[in-house]
């Protein structure tokens, strides 16, 4: 039976390497569509959770997870020999940056080593991990060519950028268009055939490099525009005007403007990191990507700006940051999720510790986490007495299930980086991007 027919009849056995924020939702979507899916993961806790019907990704419905596992449609393992039984596999492993902001594709390389060992005919490989243009061919194809099998004939290789947006209640895998680019035309056709089983619109492009660049353009676009919004916010502070009022008014224009808002910095695995992958690649080609560098510099400086704002606000209350009791409200990188990856709240926590402040945090989605090699636990609840006990509260993540009125009525000082209190002129509230007249 041909691979195309197996896919069409949903008889193909699908594998997913890496069962995190990208891989597990993808595995669930394939299983929900009727495929038998095996996830390959090194984390024993995740493997155990999945095989027992447990779920650790908030965007996945718990009852759906239990149902798929009970039906035998979804399972997890750390045994890579299962690759020999698979018809298709998607690589969804992390692609972090090194300490010197260079791409770390070691997880992709480890995945390819496993695939190479069990590579067989009529096998589809799709890389979803975000990386620099050229990775699919330079890292994966070059390694698999040693097998003697011919790409586009014996096996198929594509790149398809993930478009997962944690916490988005409108767009998910099925209704978000999927871009795919294969090494050959037949690779693209097979890849499109597979993903069209779970995604309404699959957009084919001419090569893996184009598909790789698509992902980097998407997030570089966002990084640069957020950087612009952050710089405009600082300008508005110096001009003693309200950046949020400016942005809201500008967004009434029905063409030629897209709304981006400032914040305490960039978070998540994509926006702070992806543009630097592109920047690294271009520097290797002797080109300096000025927009990317400038936006990254501005966005990375926002935690420092928040700390300086806090210092000035405390000074108004005749207090110093040293030994002040500070509450961080929200540690996740965006509202209503439990994702800490690259969160600017972590940078602000680091800076506060460096300034010898006494720091606690409250986040209903993150009860505890590891910071600086030790466990940090959040406050269980907020009440008026607890709020009154802090010298300053910094709102870093605007979770919807927080009583902001209670905080407003009891806090001696609030630094609002998310415009939780729009058009507020209270003397104890300092809003990011809003200048206060002397």
- What Å distances lie between residue 67 and 32, 54, 64, 72, CA to CA? 9, 11, 5, 9
Q: How far apart are CA 330 and CA 365, in angstroms?
A: 9
Residue 438 has pLDDT above 60, yes or no: no
**For position 127, what pLDDT does the model report?**
98
Count of CB atoms situated within 10 Å of the CB of 235: 14
Catalytic position from the list 92, 158, 187, 270:
270
**For position 97, what pLDDT does the model report?**
83
Centroid of chain to Cα 139: 23
Confidence of residue 437 (pLDDT cuts 50, 70, 90): low
Structure tokens at 173: 């895998």
Q: How far apart are CA 369 and CA 346, in angstroms?
A: 11
Tens digits of residue pLDDT in 104-147: 999 999 999 999 999 999 999 999 999 999 999 999 999 999 99
Tens digits of residue pLDDT in 52-76: 999 999 889 999 999 999 999 999 9
- Give catalytic status of residue 236 as yes or no: no
Average model confidence (pLDDT) across the chain? 95
**For position 423, what pLDDT does the model report?**
82
Residue 435 has pLDDT above 90, yes or no: no
Tens digits of residue pLDDT in 170-226: 999 999 999 999 999 999 999 999 999 999 999 999 999 999 999 999 999 999 999
Give the bridge partners for 329, in sequence order. Answer: 362, 395
**For position 98, what pLDDT does the model report?**
79
List domains and CATH numbers for the chain: 3-206 (3.40.50.720), 222-431 (3.40.50.720)
**For position 99, what pLDDT does the model report?**
73
* Percent of residues, the chain, with pLDDT higher than 70: 99
**For position 1, what pLDDT does the model report?**
60
Confidence of residue 157 (pLDDT cuts 50, 70, 90): very high
């Amino acid at each position: 039976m041909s691979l195309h027919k197996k896919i069409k009849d949903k008889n193909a056995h699908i594998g997913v390497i890496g069962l995190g924020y990208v891989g597990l939702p993808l595995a669930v979507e394939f299983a929900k569509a009727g495929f038998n899916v095996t996830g390959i993961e090194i984390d024993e806790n995740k493997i155990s959770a999945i095989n027992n019907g447990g779920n650790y990704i908030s965007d996945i419905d718990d009852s759906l997870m239990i149902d798929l596992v009970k039906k035998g449609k979804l399972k997890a393992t750390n045994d890579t020999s299962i690759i020999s039984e698979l018809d298709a596999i998607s690589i969804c492993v992390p692609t972090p940056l090194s300490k010197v902001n260079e791409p770390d594709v070691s997880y992709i390389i480890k995945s390819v080593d496993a695939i190479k060992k069990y590579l067989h005919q009529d096998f589809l490989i799709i890389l979803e991990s975000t990386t620099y243009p050229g990775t699919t061919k330079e890292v994966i194809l070059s390694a698999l060519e040693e097998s003697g099998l011919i790409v586009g004939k014996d096996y198929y290789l594509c790149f398809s950028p993930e478009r997962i947006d944690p916490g988005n209640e409108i767009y998910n895998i099925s209704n978000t268009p999927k871009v795919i680019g294969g090494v050959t035309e037949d690779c693209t056709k097979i890849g499109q055939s597979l993903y069209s089983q779970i995604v309404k619109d699959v957009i084919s492009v001419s090569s893996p490099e184009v598909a790789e660049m698509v992902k980097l353009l998407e997030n570089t676009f966002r990084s640069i525009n957020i950087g612009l919004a952050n710089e405009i916010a600082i300008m508005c502070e110096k001009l003693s005007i309200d950046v949020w009022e400016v942005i809201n008014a500008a967004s009434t224009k029905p063409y030629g403007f897209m709304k981006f808002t400032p914040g305490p910095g960039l978070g998540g695995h994509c926006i702070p990191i992806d543009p630097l992958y592109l920047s690294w690649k271009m520097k290797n080609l002797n080109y300096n990507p000025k927009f990317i560098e400038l936006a990254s510099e501005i966005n990375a400086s926002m935690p420092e700006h928040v700390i300086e704002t806090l210092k000035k606000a405390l000074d108004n209350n005749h207090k110093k940051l040293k030994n002040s009791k500070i509450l961080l409200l929200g540690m996740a990188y965006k509202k209503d999720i439990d994702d800490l990856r690259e969160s600017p709240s972590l940078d602000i926590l680091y800076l506060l510790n460096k300034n010898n402040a006494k720091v606690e945090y409250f986040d209903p989605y993150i009860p505890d986490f590891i910071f600086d090699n030790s466990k940090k636990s959040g406050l269980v609840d907020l009440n008026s007495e607890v709020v009154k006990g802090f010298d300053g509260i910094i709102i870093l993540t605007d979770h919807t299930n927080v009583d902001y009125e209670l905080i407003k009525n009891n806090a001696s000082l609030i630094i609002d980086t998310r415009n939780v209190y729009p058009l507020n002129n209270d003397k104890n509230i300092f809003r990011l991007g809003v200048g206060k007249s002397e």
